[in-house]
């Protein structure tokens, strides 16, 4: 069956979320609806829906008018085997001592490197994106300096590749990984099991640091937060509250032109900038409390 996408943008979060809810009730019913803030600094929100079969163009036009959104752009999507596509296009990634790969590249793991297996069907956070790659490089440099934290937290963990990298470095260090998406938590646990790390990292569903197990495990000597500028700024006081004195924080998910604003907020919350790397459009920050 042919799949269609319908996408629009608008400049208000509340209206965007309300439009997303309204889209879920349109006929024919969409198979999925998403509402995300664009990362280009425009302040716009994108609202999208996917349909198995052609959507109701009239209904979409009425919704866009009712919520003062741009006209929906409707596109027919080609049928794609996404797992096969990922396997073809995502080559292994090397970030210092770390080697991130899919099962189809298991024979390519170099001797002496820390191998991290991410299944192709769980491809968010594989290390190919500048944000995850930047975090792994920052972690690699910390390890070169002999840094060893008493505890690690991976906030917004996705595949848990960063938590797994820390677990490979420091086999006795307590590590906790959290994500607000329950599917991401399941993905994290599956990847941990695939890497022989089941039970080594505690995975919890949480928004930011809002979980009893996170609070009880604090303070952390190392915190990853690879999310987006807005949530990073909102979380600055909470991250400061669970970071140990002298602890390090690795932040990413930040466009290059957003980095100064994030640094300013974290410095106001008791951190100093000690490292910064740009990879294409994305910046990774290393800060010390």
User: What percent of the chain is predicted at pLDDT more than 90?
Assistant: 60
Average pLDDT, integer, range 70-75: 93
Q: Average pLDDT, whole number, for the chain? A: 88
Residue 137 and residue 277 in one domain: yes
β pairing state of 114-117 and 152-155? unpaired
197 vs 122, higher pLDDT:
197
Residue 234 and residue 141 in one domain: yes
84 vs 100, higher pLDDT:
100
| Among candidate residues 59, 77, 95, the one where a domain is terminated | 77
Q: What is the pLDDT of residues 3-31, one digit of tens each?
A: 899 999 999 999 999 999 999 999 999 98
Tell me how many degrees the CA angle 24-27-33 measures, rounded to the nearest 5: 25
| Residue 123: pLDDT band with limits 50, 70, 90 | very low
Residue 282 lies in a domain: yes
DSSP at 15: H
Question: Whole-angstrom Cα distance, residue 2 to residue 40?
Answer: 31
Residue 146 and residue 279 in one domain: yes
Question: Whole-angstrom Cα distance, residue 16 to residue 36?
Answer: 9
Query: Shortest CA distance to 93 belongs to which of 143, 118, 128?
Result: 128
Decide if pLDDT at 87 tops 70.
no
User: What percent of the chain is predicted at pLDDT more than 70?
Assistant: 89
Residue 16 lies in a domain: yes
Residue 116 lies in a domain: no
Cβ neighbourhood burial of 204 (10 Å; 0-12, 13-18, 19+): middle
No. of H helices and E strands in the chain?
9, 14
DSSP at 26: S
Question: Whole-angstrom Cα distance, residue 54 to residue 45?
Answer: 24
3-state secondary structure of 57: helix
Decide if pLDDT at 146 tops 70.
yes
Residue 152 and residue 48 in one domain: no
Question: Whole-angstrom Cα distance, residue 40 to residue 279?
Answer: 16
Check residue 175 and give its pLDDT.
97
Residue 8 lies in a domain: yes
Residue 45 and residue 181 in one domain: no
Decide if pLDDT at 132 tops 90.
no
Ranking 39-48, 140-149, 270-279 by mean pLDDT, the lowest is: 39-48
Residue 179 and residue 52 in one domain: no
| Among candidate residues 38, 61, 77, the one where a domain is terminated | 77
Check residue 106 and give its pLDDT.
60
Answer left, alpha or beta for residue 68, where phi above 0 means left and psi between -120 and 50 means alpha: left
- Walk across the sheet containing 272-279 and list its strands: 201-205, 175-179, 152-155, 220-226, 243-255, 282-288, 272-279
Decide if pLDDT at 144 tops 80.
yes
Residue 38 and residue 134 in one domain: no
Residue 149 and residue 273 in one domain: yes
| Residue 82: pLDDT band with limits 50, 70, 90 | low
Residue 144 and residue 265 in one domain: yes
Residue 36 and residue 151 in one domain: no
Residues spanned by the domain of 169: 129-288
CATH number at residue 55: 3.30.70.260
CATH number at residue 174: 3.40.50.150
3-state secondary structure of 126: coil
Decide if pLDDT at 81 tops 70.
no
| Residue 122: pLDDT band with limits 50, 70, 90 | very low
Decide if pLDDT at 201 tops 70.
yes
59 vs 91, higher pLDDT:
59
Check residue 161 and give its pLDDT.
92
Residue 102 lies in a domain: no
**Can you say how many angstroms the Cα of residue 85 is from the centroid of all Cα atoms in its chain?**
21
Domain count across the chain = 2
Residue 143 and residue 276 in one domain: yes
Residue 95 lies in a domain: no
| Among candidate residues 77, 95, 121, the one where a domain is terminated | 77
Peptide bond into 198 cis (omega under 30): no
Residue 168 and residue 55 in one domain: no
Supply the DSSP string of 140-175, one letter for each residue.
HHHHHTT---S-EEEET-TT-HHHHHHHHH-TTS-E
Residue 103 lies in a domain: no
Average pLDDT, integer, range 259-280: 95
Residue 94 lies in a domain: no
Q: What is the pLDDT of residues 207-255, one digit of tens each?
A: 889 899 999 999 999 999 998 888 999 999 999 999 999 999 999 989 8
Ranking 90-99, 191-200, 260-269 by mean pLDDT, the lowest is: 90-99
Contact residues for 226 (Cβ-Cβ < 8 A; gap 6+):
125, 131, 132, 135, 156, 158, 162, 250, 251, 252, 253
Check residue 227 and give its pLDDT.
87
């Amino acid at each position: 069956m042919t799949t269609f996408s319908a996408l629009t943008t608008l400049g208000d979060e509340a209206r965007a979320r309300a439009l997303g809810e309204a889209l879920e009730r349109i006929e024919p019913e969409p198979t999925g609806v998403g509402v995300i803030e664009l990362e280009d600094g425009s302040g716009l929100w994108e609202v999208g829906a996917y349909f198995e079969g052609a959507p109701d163009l009239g209904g979409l036009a009425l919704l866009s008018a009712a919520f003062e959104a741009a006209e929906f752009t409707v596109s027919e999507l080609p049928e794609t085997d996404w797992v096969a596509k990922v396997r073809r296009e995502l080559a292994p990634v090397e970030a210092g001592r770390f080697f991130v790969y899919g099962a189809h590249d298991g024979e390519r793991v170099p001797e002496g490197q820390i191998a991290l297996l991410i299944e192709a069907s769980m491809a968010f956070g594989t290390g190919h994106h500048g944000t995850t790659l930047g975090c792994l490089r920052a972690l690699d440099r910390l390890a070169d300096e002999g840094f060893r934290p008493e505890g690690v937290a991976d906030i917004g963990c996705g595949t848990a590749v960063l938590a797994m990298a820390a677990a490979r470095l420091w086999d006795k260090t307590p590590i906790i990984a959290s994500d607000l998406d329950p599917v991401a938590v399941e993905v994290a646990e599956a990847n941990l099991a695939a890497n022989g790390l089941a039970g080594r990292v505690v995975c919890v569903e949480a928004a930011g640091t809002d979980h009893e197990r996170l609070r009880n495990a604090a303070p952390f000597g190392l915190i990853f937060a690879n999310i987006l500028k807005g949530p990073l700024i909102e979380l600055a006081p909470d991250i400061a509250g669970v970071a140990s004195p002298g602890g390090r924080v690795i932040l990413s998910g930040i466009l290059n032109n957003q980095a100064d604003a994030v640094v300013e907020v974290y410095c106001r919350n008791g951190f100093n900038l000690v490292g910064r790397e740009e990879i294409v459009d994305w910046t990774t920050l290393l800060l010390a409390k």
